[in-house]
Amino acid sequence: MTAPRYDDPDWCEREYNPRVTVPDMAAVFGRWLETAAATRARLPHHTGIAYGTDPRETLDMFPAGRPRGAVVFIHGGYWRASSKDEVSWAAAALVPAGFTTVVLNYPLCPQTTVAGIAESCRKAIAFAWTTLLGEAERKCLIVSGHSAGGYLTAAMLATDWATRGLPAAPFAGGVSISGVFDLRPLLRTSMNELIRLTPEQASGWSLHEAPSPRHGAPLELLVGGDEPAEFHRQSALMEAAWPHLARATIAVPGRHHFDVVEQIGQHGTPVFDAVMRLAR
């Protein structure tokens, strides 16, 4: 596995900007919006529940009739784009399987920072735990996310929840889909025009060099088989960094950065099955 070429902006852009490598993005996003709207029309849900004071600190909750757990889903967008409204389809297969699904919104860069977004997600989870979720849902709480949300998933597993009034290990596990954990290559990409990472932040907020969580839950790592090599390397970094928690990366054949995450809303797919493996 070759080392990242941090000094080559063109290389960083090719490896980390999926808009360069995925030709049918408009069709994918159109499908996301249609499927999200159809999911909201089909499943009972509560929309726009505020968990903080920022206008974007809201969440949607899709309750399961007889819950055996809950899944918190964190959208991607490189911390500077997208919203919960585009990914309601995450609940499509989880709710029928008995998992109440909580889909998070959060403030975006450059209004805030990557660390600020992680803090918003912590607030959302603490709010959901204490206010929205019942005993059965808290017994098997799983956190999942895509791309930037994959990073945030790992950040939630690394949080000291005991200082926030929750059990030290509130999660049954996490599912990171196409996560980016080493932030340093992003410094030379066009995405950083809005993320605005400094070299110090990119190093200090990278999770592959952070201490492994003491009260750990398993971390499932998945990536599209057709994604650039760097997305595969990113998950491999977490395997090495958290050897007692991170499970071997699953490369989902024939999937790119934007359609691999759709599988969380599709029963019997590798991503959906990764969530089910964490159920206890």
Kindly tell me if the per-residue pLDDT of 1 is higher than 60.
Answer: no
Per-domain boundaries in the chain: 9-277
Write down the pLDDT at residue 3: 63
d(CA 206, CA 211): 11
Predicted confidence (pLDDT) per residue in 106-153, tens digit: 999 999 999 999 999 999 999 999 999 999 999 999 999 999 999 999
> How many residues would you count in the chain?
280
Give me the helices (H) in the chain, please.
9-16, 18-21, 25-42, 91-94, 114-127, 135-139, 148-157, 192-195, 199-204, 229-241, 270-277
Output the six-digit token pair for 107: 């403030």
Among 1-5, 18-22, 219-223, 257-261, which stretch is predicted with the lowest mean pLDDT?
Answer: 1-5
Write down the pLDDT at residue 2: 59
Predicted confidence (pLDDT) per residue in 68-120, tens digit: 999 999 999 999 999 999 999 999 999 999 999 999 999 999 999 999 999 99
More confident residue, 216 or 279: 279
Please state the CATH superfamily assignment of the domain spanning residues 9-277 in this structure.
Answer: Alpha/Beta hydrolase fold, catalytic domain (3.40.50.1820)
Instruction: Read off the pLDDT band of 216 (50, 70, 90).
Output: confident
